Amino acid sequence: MIIDKHPSGAPWRNFYGRFKGKALRKSQERLLDEDLQGLSPGPVGWDVNPERTELDLKALFGDRDLWLEIGFGGGEHLAHMAVAEPDVGLIGCEPYLNGVAMLLAKLRKIDEPHVRVHPGDARDLFDVLPEASVGRAYLLYPDPWPKARHHRRRFVTAEHLEPLARVMRPGAELRIATDIEDYVRQTLEEVPPCGFEWLAEGPDDWRKPWDGWIATRYEQKALREGRVPHYLRFRRV
């Protein structure tokens, strides 16, 4: 017998990232205990929302447009957007608790009410977002999974892209930054068939970052190590 669901009702989804790295500092533990629940977008996980009831975005953000950051790392870019885009509702997804704690420290300093944080798999969030509700999505320096046998673990596969496309409205932008040339290749091969068109007319369109860009610590590391960033923009068709 093939079992394709968890006892909670959730589909079996392989997850290959990390949930926790080195031991959290006491200050980070306090941030998670004190701030994370208040920044929740609502019931996302299958354990708290087995019926997969859609999130009430109107209650969360009013009439603001909704943007997502998928895998926000240490939160540099998301915290920057929280200040630079006060009229946008922001949801960040990141399963790595050390990174979540880093973002919470940044958000505590700027006290922005239009940011929500999902500390888990982005696919669970896609389940409960209304169709065509997202105006922009960012995937910045995702885990490259460099070994060929692990390329199917990358975010830029249909398993992730199809549910993302469902929640993005026509005309919405997906922005991807990576310093791994083979990740660029796979992105250009797999993103368009899932409902997107590449917005590039010349080399500057992938060599130069888009307006409002802030270099993350992952980009700074890439530059120090001699790797070249690529900035890819796609439109949901």
By annotation, the residues acting in catalysis are 143
Q: In what order do the strands lie in the sheet with 88-93?
A: 115-118, 88-93, 65-70, 134-140, 168-178, 230-236, 196-198
d(CA 67, CA 78): 10
Give the SS3 label for residue 196. Answer: strand
- Read out DSSP for 2-68? ---B-TTSPBP----S-S--SPPPHHHHHHHHHHTGGG--S--STTT-TT-PPP-HHHHHTT-EEEE
CB neighbourhood size of 117 (10 A): 25
d(CA 43, CA 64): 20
